[in-house]
Structure 1
Amino acid sequence: MENQQQKRVFLDFLDQQGYMEEIHGMIGRQDKRLMLNLNHLRTFDNELTTNFMRHPGEYLPAFEDALREVIVQQDPTLGKTVAMHEFRIGVEGNFGSHHVSPRELSAYLLNGLVCVEGIVTKCSLVRPKIIKSTQYCQVTNRYTTKDYRDNTSLNGPATGSTMPNKDQNGNPLQVEYGMSEYMDHQMISLQEMPERAPPGQLPRSIEVLLEGDLVDQCKPGDRVALSGIHRALPSKGSTTGMFATVVLGNNLRHFSKELTQGAFHEQDIANIKRLGKRPDAIDLMATSLAPSIFGHQFEKTALLLMLLGGCEKNLANGTHLRGDINILLCGDPSTAKSQLLRFVLRIAPLAISTTGRGSSGVGLTAAVTTDEETGDRRLEAGAMVLADRGVCIIDEFDKMTDADRVAIHEVMEQ
């Protein structure tokens, strides 16, 4: 399917599925990304959706060109004030077999459209990347432009980053940096969620490239679902035929901000309310926590209250009162301390386990690391950042050094 034909088909889709009003609202809100729902595209043309998910690099540039044409038609003045390359298409909806974790990204999905779920562990600095440079020639008094593309570009082969210093006649050129066009660029690492990793195996990671309005949308510790194109990049000076893979980010959705309303049915809510009216509700729930361990009623009640949490308060004068409970379990060896923590690890929706002997203060909070390839500084999340709004379990707490223990005091006060 040629580029022009793809544009015509997409324009028909926008018209038939009622996206024209959405584009009008997007211009009014000054958004730069139109959300395309795969379910709507599937209703319009199932075969087109299948081809789009298998070869998004061929279809997405044509779709984005069609979107820019519609935007210029609806608001002709916008093309003069805003760079048109900033308008993009984000993909959402049901990805089917292309909805994977970083472990399941295989060669079969290369150059395909994927949706990856995971935890953000590293974020690089946001840097500008040149899209179009403008050069001025003093001899001829004329301006010339040059477009730039790298290996991650979908609009054609890479051009290289060398700026021209002479025109065709050999006259010297001066680069006008203020008149050139740039785009924000950021690399993040997306790690498999610890609770979904197979037992005894380390969680896998994938590098994700974010551009334009997607940069700085997440921080280390955030749980996100990220859609994009799975691409292989040629490694520098390698003759083994091995490739580094990256996901070219297209849309980002946070998990923590979604309400988990669908987790309870009406019958569940009725049972919970009935249990809440019983006078022995706390004793019953504490006994149900780790039922294979006899006794320890006080300890179980404390762990239950920690799991349920208190009431977090933000007062009008800016004072923050935390609602979380910090618990220190002390006791003789073999009194089921670690077993109780293991039950908490299994019950809590978000729980990260670590040991005091193998953890440093930096490893628990956050570390600034240097990227091997680019030399950029990155912020890497530790166990306590990954367990934000959840439970962080530190076993063998007494084996931790005093200097490392001080690092978590600030975290415990939040």
Structure 2
Amino acid sequence: KMAVEFVDDQEMREAQRDYLDFLDDDQDQGIYQSKVRQMISENKSRLIVNLNDLRRRNEQRAAKLLNNAFEELLAFQRALKDLVASIDATYAKQHEEFFIGLEGSFGSKHVSPRTLTSRLLGSMVCLEGIVTKCSLVRPKVVRSVHYCPATKKTMERKYTDMTSLDAFPSSAIYPTKDEENNPLETEFGLSIYKDHQTITVQEMPEKAPAGQLPRSVDIILDNDLVDVVKPGDRTQVIGTYRCLPGKKGGFTSGTFRTIMIACHVKQMSKEVSHYFSADDVAKIKSFCRTRSKNSFDQLARSLAPSIHGHEYIKKAILCMLLGGVEKVLENGSRIRGDINVLLIGDPSVAKSQLLRYVLHTAPRAIPTTGRGSSGVGLTAAVTTDQETGTAFHTLRQHKKPEAIISNLRKTLGQVKVSE
């Protein structure tokens, strides 16, 4: 056992030395030296490292960081603390820990909640999806300080759990007496806490197989990562994937709950507001001048031009696409300005063709059958239009509408896209 501990400690020191050589890159381009100095000047404690830079300098260490994430990330963070201490010793003492966030190419470890399987446990993964749920931000005690009035001494106690990198879970017993049974008083002001939040990320609806419920994964955010995202955001989370043993009646059960412990959170492209060039604006103005009387009819005829007739239906779809003006009455009640359209007709009268045209015309539209789609999966995936404040679900025909009417009512009856 002693030999194993010595080997592990030796490997940890070797890894720490490699990471310190990578960060202390004055002899190379000095990129990370300047990043660390910038982090200190901005009073931050997390450094974002690009995996591609690490591969270029030390490919073997980058591979180990992906496959043996917990030990390697701990060594990386210790190396960062050593470098910060050499640059600014007082700043290093002010912070209990320094953190490493990763970005770059993850290869086969770039996954979605559906492809996050047991083979990736203990690895560093990059996960993409939509945030569906965020818990409250709560403080978690890291170190408590206790004062004994009888002996006039203070004692400290550190706490770790399964989400910690560097230790096994500590006992959850909170000290109230010292070794001689003298009562202890907790010094709350001197104790150290960290922010803690759990979010749920669901796979993107366009990547989910048709007719299957979208899958999700729980992610733990700590310290500066809390409140970075909100429900409805498309996000990319980099972190370590691990399992937490579940206990029932004091015994560990055979099934384990899996979570991700995030080290970096990136918001993917938020909905980009449409940019109209000067030519586009000129064309719109000339169209309004030349078609001032029948512009609405002309726009309706231009909707799905390959389908003849159906002028009244096309006008209704155009109104749905453009959106209306929301009215707020004096008593506070609200009349929404957007409409829902339900197309009912014989087979082969171009219902699906009109629906497909809307799907390809509207920049934010999601096709779904309603069957096998949860209300959360539909609402989380929709983002509102910057100009009109509208978003669209295009729903295909159903053989048994009564079986899914509750799902459709959630979706169609919404007056605002939930956040």
Give the TM-score of the pair, scaled to structure 2. Answer: 0.74
Cα separation, partners in 2 of 1:38 and 1:297, compared to 1, 3 Å: farther
Q: Which amino acid aligns with 1:392?
A: H
Cα separation, partners in 2 of 1:302 and 1:47, compared to 1, 3 Å: farther
The yes-or-no answer on 1:2 pairing with 2:15 is no
Question: SS of the residue aligned with 1:27?
Answer: helix
5+ residue gaps, structure 1, are 262-268, 313-323, 365-380
Please point out which of 58, 66, 88 is paired with 1:75: 88
1:195 and 1:357 map into 2 onto residues whose CA distance is 15
Larger radius of gyration: 2
Cα separation, partners in 2 of 1:295 and 1:47, compared to 1, 3 Å: farther
Question: SS of the residue aligned with 1:77?
Answer: helix
2:234 and 2:410 map into 1 onto residues whose CA distance is 27
5 Å-filtered alignment, 1:44-63, equals 44-63=57-76
1:304 and 1:251 map into 2 onto residues whose CA distance is 42
Q: Which amino acid aligns with 1:83?
A: H
5+ residue gaps, structure 2, are 1-9, 292-297, 326-336, 385-390
Cα deviations across residues 6-42 of structure 1 (Å, max 9, x unaligned)? Answer: 2221111012252010111122222332101001001
Q: What does residue 165 of structure 1 align with?
A: 176
5 Å-filtered alignment, 1:223-242, equals 223-237=234-248, 241-242=254-255
The yes-or-no answer on 1:387 pairing with 2:382 is yes
The aligned length equals: 366
5 Å-filtered alignment, 1:82-121, equals 82-85=94-97, 87-121=98-132
* Superposed displacement of residue 257, structure 1: 3.0
2:269 and 2:52 map into 1 onto residues whose CA distance is 24
Conservation of the 8 A alpha-carbon contact between 1:287 and 1:297: no
Conservation of the 8 A alpha-carbon contact between 1:230 and 1:248: yes
Q: What does residue 219 of structure 1 align with?
A: 230
Q: What does residue 191 of structure 1 align with?
A: 202
The yes-or-no answer on 1:43 pairing with 2:44 is no
Cα deviations across residues 231-277 of structure 1 (Å, max 9, x unaligned)? Answer: 0110122665221110111111112338699xxxxxxx9xx99x999
Cα separation, partners in 2 of 1:88 and 1:71, compared to 1, 3 Å: same
Conservation of the 8 A alpha-carbon contact between 1:68 and 1:84: no
Q: What does residue 411 of structure 1 align with?
A: 416
Cα separation, partners in 2 of 1:257 and 1:332, compared to 1, 3 Å: closer
Q: What does residue 149 of structure 1 align with?
A: 160
Q: What does residue 22 of structure 1 align with?
A: 35
Conservation of the 8 A alpha-carbon contact between 2:19 and 2:79: yes
Cα deviations across residues 317-353 of structure 1 (Å, max 9, x unaligned)? Answer: xxxxxxx965535555554445533554467564345
Q: What does residue 214 of structure 2 align with?
A: 203
Question: SS of the residue aligned with 1:242?
Answer: strand
Cα separation, partners in 2 of 1:204 and 1:169, compared to 1, 3 Å: same
Q: Which amino acid aligns with 1:78?
A: Y
